[in-house]
């Protein structure tokens, strides 16, 4: 990587997990190492624009972060000795690696760090926050802003996550082969959650947070670089690219939500679509099929349709049928119902939706009401459609979605 070819912010984001991985591997102390790396990143963001970028940005960051960390460990050791506690830390000098124990200078511990941040002992919100902080290089304030919570709340969440990892006694190494597949699934799910929150914010005044979706794509690219032969890694990246390509068409300048069928497809990002289509086409031809690949294939069918009414719905329906058998969940069933309605008529879709009415995972979710409203509208039942749109509007916490659903209800006339 040529440091002169990228901005300081982009370079720091890319180097953050590598630097943190180097410190954790060398010294342990994940929580203290992460704090030291954040201080080094902050120092670099201030000094590099003024003094010029060092010849080895990664080495500079590791050196500065290591100094901060060893100073902290020495201070902590001295304090503990003064207090005569029985749980004294080892001196920082003894934490240094034995000769030959260090990783090569060009090693990349990003994947190991991702596995650590996505430890199964952590809750999904904690996994997301810690991944964005430790691997994404975002500050606590940036993460708090993205999720619309106070910075103090997010700081506590991240701190508890780091303490929980410390309590598990997990070593900084890739999990054993027997656990790796399941742990990778968790990593991909966390990246998927980050992307979804960026693509459609669950609450607040904005429909999407583009920077969060872009960060998820960057991290997915990093994982694929480390695991180029994994079909689901490639599938997730393709899905993100094909979905994110529609971002410019999803809302009007005033923030009004525009549904997929009504979007101006000339504003879709053709470069991202071409990359996503090529990626999923190549992956499906060689790798065992997985849920992310199927979702990417569905997104590719939408992306390749010049107009909404030229969408190959029978192909999409077939893909959803496979996806529902492979990875059944309520959201898949919702989308399956839409595809079924487009192929066999709205009543077939409504019948499929009815199977979710007693599913506690989705029974009170606004998307169930929104899809039901859409299908009632397709069937010509305006009264039922209006009632369902209004029910969906009451349940969503996204203001753009709320306005859209209310407008759909208001324009329906018996």
- Give per-residue pLDDT as tens, 59-104: 999 999 999 888 878 766 555 554 444 334 344 333 333 333 344 4
- pTM strictly above 0.85: no
Residue 294: Cβ within 10 Å count: 22
More confident residue, 12 or 375: 375
Alpha helices in 52-120 (DSSP H): 57-83, 92-95, 110-117
CA nearest 22: which of 48, 60, 55, 54?
60
CB 179 within 8 Å of CB 168: no
Task: State the chain's mean pLDDT as an integer.
Answer: 87
Confidence at 5, pLDDT banded by 50, 70, 90: very low
Query: What's the pLDDT at 79?
Result: 53
Tell me what the mean pLDDT of segment 167-175 comes to.
Answer: 85
Provide the residue count of the chain. 414
Structure tokens, 326? 């492979």
Q: Return the minimum-mean-pLDDT range out of 3-17, 92-106, 126-140, 242-256.
A: 92-106
More confident residue, 33 or 293: 293
- E strand or H helix that includes residue 355: none
Query: What's the pLDDT at 226?
Result: 87
- Give per-residue pLDDT as tens, 304-351: 999 999 999 999 999 999 999 999 999 999 999 999 999 999 999 999
Which segment, 72-76, 94-98, 139-143, 269-273, is predicted with the most confidence on average?
A: 269-273
Tell me what the mean pLDDT of segment 224-242 comes to.
Answer: 96
Tell me what the mean pLDDT of segment 167-193 comes to.
Answer: 87
Query: What's the pLDDT at 107?
Result: 52
DSSP-based three-state secondary structure for 246: coil
Q: Which residue has the tokens 């119902």?
A: 337
- Domains delineated in the chain: 1-95 (no CATH), 315-414 (1.25.40.10)
Tell me what the mean pLDDT of segment 203-220 comes to.
Answer: 89
Q: How far is CA 264 from the centre of its chain?
A: 26
Tell me what the mean pLDDT of segment 385-401 comes to.
Answer: 95
More confident residue, 324 or 206: 324
CA nearest 346: which of 329, 309, 321, 371?
371
Within the chain, how many helices (H) and strands (E) appear? 19, 2
Decide if pLDDT at 2 tops 60.
no
Query: What's the pLDDT at 84?
Result: 43
Decide if pLDDT at 396 tops 80.
yes
What b/e readout covers 157-171, taking b as 16+ CB neighbours within 10 angstroms? bbeebbebbeeeeee
Decide if pLDDT at 13 tops 70.
yes
% of the chain residues with pLDDT over 70: 90
Confidence at 414, pLDDT banded by 50, 70, 90: low
Confidence at 154, pLDDT banded by 50, 70, 90: very high
Q: Which residue has the tokens 């190492």?
A: 33
Structure tokens, 184? 């990778």
Query: What's the pLDDT at 1?
Result: 42
Task: Please report, for residues 177, 242, 279, 282, 316, the alpha-carbon distance to residue 231 in angstroms, rounded to integers and kept in the order given.
Answer: 17, 16, 10, 10, 20
């Amino acid at each position: 990587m040529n440091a002169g070819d990228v901005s300081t912010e982009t370079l720091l984001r890319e180097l953050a997990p590598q630097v943190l991985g180097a410190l954790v591997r060398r010294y342990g102390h994940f929580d203290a190492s992460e704090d030291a790396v954040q201080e080094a990143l902050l120092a670099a963001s201030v000094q590099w624009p003024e003094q010029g970028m060092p010849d080895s940005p990664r080495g500079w960051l590791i050196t500065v972060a290591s100094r901060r960390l060893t100073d902290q460990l020495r201070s902590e050791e001295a304090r503990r000795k003064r207090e005569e506690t029985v749980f004294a830390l080892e001196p920082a000098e003894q934490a240094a690696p034995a000769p030959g124990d260090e990783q090569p200078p060009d090693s990349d511990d990003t994947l190991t760090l991702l596995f650590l941040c996505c430890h199964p002992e952590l809750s999904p919100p904690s996994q997301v926050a810690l991944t964005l902080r430790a691997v994404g290089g975002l500050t606590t304030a940036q993460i708090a802003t993205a999720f619309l919570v106070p910075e103090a709340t997010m700081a506590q969440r991240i701190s508890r996550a780091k303490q929980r990892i410390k309590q598990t006694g997990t070593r900084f190494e890739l999990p054993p082969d027997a656990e790796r597949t399941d742990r990778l699934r968790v990593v991909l799910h966390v990246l998927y959650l980050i992307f979804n929150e960026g693509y459609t914010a669950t609450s607040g005044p904005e429909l999407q947070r583009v920077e969060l979706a872009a960060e998820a794509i960057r991290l997915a690219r990093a994982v694929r670089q480390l695991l180029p032969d994994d079909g689901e890694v490639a599938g997730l990246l393709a899905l993100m690219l094909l979905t994110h390509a529609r971002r410019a068409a999803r809302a009007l300048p005033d923030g009004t939500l525009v549904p997929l069928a009504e979007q101006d497809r000339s504003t879709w990002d053709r470069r991202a679509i071409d990359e996503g289509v090529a990626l999923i086409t190549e992956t499906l031809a060689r790798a065992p099929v997985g849920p992310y690949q199927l979702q990417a294939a569905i997104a590719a069918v939408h992306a390749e349709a010049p107009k909404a009414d030229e969408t190959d719905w029978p192909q999409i329906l077939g893909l959803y049928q496979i996806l529902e058998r492979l990875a059944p969940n309520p959201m898949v069933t919702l989308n399956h119902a839409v595809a079924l309605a487009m192929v066999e008529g709205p009543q077939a879709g409504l019948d499929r939706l009815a199977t979710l009415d007693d599913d506690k995972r989705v029974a009170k979710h606004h998307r169930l009401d929104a899809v039901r409203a859409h299908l009632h509208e397709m069937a010509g039942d305006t009264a039922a459609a209006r009632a369902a749109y209004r029910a969906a509007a009451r349940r969503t916490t996204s203001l753009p979605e709320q306005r859209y659903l209310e407008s759909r209800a208001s324009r329906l006339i018996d």
